[in-house]
Amino acid sequence: MQVQSESKPYDDINITPMLDLAYVLLVIFILMCTASVQGVKVNLPKASAAPSLAKPKVKVITVNNESHFFLDTVPKSLPELEQALSQLKAQTPDLPVVIKGDSLTQYQGIMDVLDILGRLGISQVGLATKPHAK
């Protein structure tokens, strides 16, 4: 008499260990997220509103199509612009500047402003543009 061994492939996978692991990880995650920082309660002092902690205000240099220069809507010549920017740079070393040039402006006007900014060591410079219409 011959005995046949029944070796058939497994029809289903036992996922109980995987679910146990998922539940343990979920419990650990919940405990870690809801844990609060423990410590001694103290009465913290109030800080003054120091202007040195505030971000420096962005200065806008506008060059119109007639190559006139404006520093925050105040008309300036190139020497006046350089003097005003050097005073502002002395007050705030990391002075941010945005250059707004008219689309009909001669390129030389923008280059004059960039030259002044380079001589003064102002490195945070942005060029304002309009988004392209679709």
List domains and CATH numbers for the chain.
59-127 (3.30.420.270)
Three-class SS of the chain: CCCCCCCCCCCCCCCHHHHHHHHHHHHHHHHHHHCCCCCCCCCCCCCCCCCCCCCCCCEEEEECCCCCEEECCEEECHHHHHHHHHHHHHHCCCCCEEEEECCCCCHHHHHHHHHHHHHHCCCCEEECCCCCCC
Residue range 3-28, pLDDT digits in tens: 555 666 667 778 888 899 999 999 99
Measured CA to CA in angstroms, residue 114 lies from 68, 84, 122, 124, 128 at distances of 15, 15, 9, 11, 14
* Rounded Cα–Cα distance for residues 115 and 121 (Å): 10
Quote the pTM value: 0.56
22-56 tens-digit pLDDT: 999 999 988 887 766 565 666 666 766 655 556 66
Token reading at 37? 């920082």
pLDDT score, position 21: 93
